[in-house]
Amino acid sequence: MTDATRDLEPQIFWNCFAAISAIPRASGHEERIGAYILERAGQLGLERAKDDCGNIVVKLPATPGKEGVRSICLQSHLDMVCEKNADKVHDFLNDPIELVRNGEVLTANGTTLGADNGIGVATSLAIMEDRSVEHGPLELLFTVEEETGLRGAKNLSPSLVSSRSLLNLDSEEEGALYIGCAGGRDTVGRWRLVREAAPAGWAALRLTVKGLKGGHSGLEIDKGLGNAIKLLNRALMRLAGLGARVAAIDGGNMRNAIPRECAAVISLAPERAAAAQTVVAELAATFAAELPTVDPGVQLVLEPCEAPATVLYQHLQRQVLSTIAALPSGVQRMSAEIAGLVETSTNVSVINTEQDELVLITSQRSSSASRLTEVVETVQSILELGGAAVEVSEGYPGWQPNVDSPLLKLAQRCYRGLYGKDPEVKAIHAGLECGIIGERTPGMDMVSFGPNMEKVHSPDERVYIESVARYWRFVLEILKTAQ
């Protein structure tokens, strides 16, 4: 226990959270935390196993009188995102997390806290330690490398877990029960660059879209945010009508983000420069009118730059610009089962002009496997018609919501009994380990939930202490009530 967690309730939970916070557990470096869990389970005389990927399961026998209850798996991931403030000296491979209590929240000193998913890990460890908790047979599953590609879940040995009911303890909103998530794939187009000399005496200009907020291409795809690549392409199409020649286009930097900025270098006949500035001014006003509240800072700027030696061959330029214009980007379909949930979306994420090729990365998501296939095939077809060579990633599966889930009904009854109100039933338009685990273990009934957390994956990450206490009671009530 540290001073930050001293006197917090439930004490056994916070003791476990403090213990794991002292053990470095960056993604891909979960060996020490895994060894700690295996050693402690052995000391308690519990059956435990580890698969080739590093995933761990600890099996708890039922407490007296609960032997006939169905087995439940409590699932969490061992790794944490490692981010720190620029002025913070911290070695995530060797240094413990410094916990800080700040009124009603627990945070860390200049680094990520690791509540994602230390809360879930500490929950399972506390139940392992506390023999007063009533429960049927339990399997405590700890996966690895969730934060860097869901590697543990993707490589989970099917024989490691026998339960067919799973509580995923990796959500961040108290009072919400998650029963579905999106699957996803990336579809990448590549054009081999064919260039010619830039016209002699032409003006060199940089066209830039900036000032957009950007955002997560799953969680915020329904916000109507501006996409810098799509907006810039609209401007390039207009300037191409004035004879502009494109030398390079670069924008976006993350596959799972709506791009905030994008820039192109172009060559333009000097006598067309004034007309180009007029077009840019008109489009800047148009973009501002289209995004008045969601992206009020949007800017479209045309300014002189260093002259490029070459430009794209005219036919290639037409192919690239037309393809980007034709590509869908945004929400494609809303869920018919859960109000407000995006079912299917696609996002134009990144464009880079490299030495020998131009690369365009797009990302598709859906909670329906068939709809995911459909939108991927749509994007793939457009890219191929535009002359690009196309690669489609293996991706990850979605988790189809089941509003008739027995585990969901149990969780709803328990929450209502404890707090006198119904929890929200939700799904998330992003990837969760549940989608992969469900695919690898057919018939798995799953619900995900957790306490209130904010600003995860950043040094401002925090978890609300009283929310943790209510979440802990909820977990124990489910285990006690399960039949």
Annotated active-site positions, please? 79, 146
As a whole number of angstroms, the distance between CA 379 and CA 187 comes to: 7
Q: Which residues have C-beta within 8 Å of that of residue 45, sequence separation ≥ 6?
A: none
Burial class (CB within 10 angstroms; exposed 0-12, middle 13-18, buried 19+) of 18: buried
Residue reference for tokens 């090729």: 357
The conformation of residue 160, written as its DSSP 8-state character, comes to: G
What is the token pair recorded at 209?
């879209």
> Within 10 A of 210 (CB to CB), how many other CB atoms are there?
16
As a whole number of angstroms, the distance between CA 474 and CA 169 comes to: 12
DSSP labels, 384-448:
HHTT-EEEE---B--B---TT-HHHHHHHHHHHHHHSSPPEEEEESS--HHHHHHHHSTT-EEEE
DSSP labels, 305-347:
-PPPSEEE-HHHHHHHHHHHHHS--EEEEE-SSSTT-EEEEEE
Phi first, then psi, for residue 255 (nearest 5°) are -65, -30
Q: Which residues have C-beta within 8 Å of that of residue 317, sequence separation ≥ 6?
A: 240, 245, 246, 311
Q: Which residues have C-beta within 8 Å of that of residue 7, sequence separation ≥ 6?
A: none
If residue 29 lies in a helix (H) or strand (E), which one and from where to where?
A: none
